[in-house]
Amino acid sequence: MLHSVDLNDYMVRNPPTISPDADIYEAITKVTDHMLSGLCVVDREGNLVGVLSELDCLQATFPAMYEGRRHVGTVRDHMTPIERVVMATLEDDIVDVANDMLSNKLRHRPVVQDGKLIGQITCHQLLRAIKKFSGVVFPPHTSNA
């Protein structure tokens, strides 16, 4: 059983971000280059203003392919705005965050302090915590090559 652990020990600090005014294709480049499930959207002062998931990117661009459209808008046009984003703080318990992410089928959660983005917790980090505290012996990594 996973015991309560400090969210601060597992979050990604200074995660890749994007401006709400960026073109959606710039966001797709960041998502694919960094192998991310989404991006935190921040303003010039570093305040979190929304999140953009890889699914948001796909929904923005996939239909446009069939219509022959190149321009599909900005990140702001397709992001989930801050009013609808569930955020975490350093004081949050990682077990509670994981349960809520599972319940709401979310793959990442921004971590904020005083409105500023300071990190992000993702499924990857949660799996690292499980691996560390589960008591299960995981097999060593092997290459499929």
Over residues 98-145, the pLDDT tens digits come to: 999 999 888 889 999 988 999 999 988 888 888 877 766 767 777 665
Contact partners, residue 105, CB within 8 Å, separation at least 6:
none
Sheet of strand 38-42, all strands in order from the earlier edge strand to the far edge = 17-18, 38-42, 48-53, 80-81
- The domain made up of 7-133 is a member of CATH 3.40.640.10: no
Please, are residues 2 and 95 in contact by the beta-carbon 8 Å criterion?
yes
Residue whose token pair is 């990190």: 119
For residue 145, the model assigns a pLDDT of 55
pLDDT band at 5; cut points 50, 70, 90: confident
> How many whole angstroms separate alpha carbon 97 and alpha carbon 142?
31
The pTM of the whole model exceeds 0.95 = no
| Lowest-confidence region among 13-22, 61-70, 108-117 | 61-70
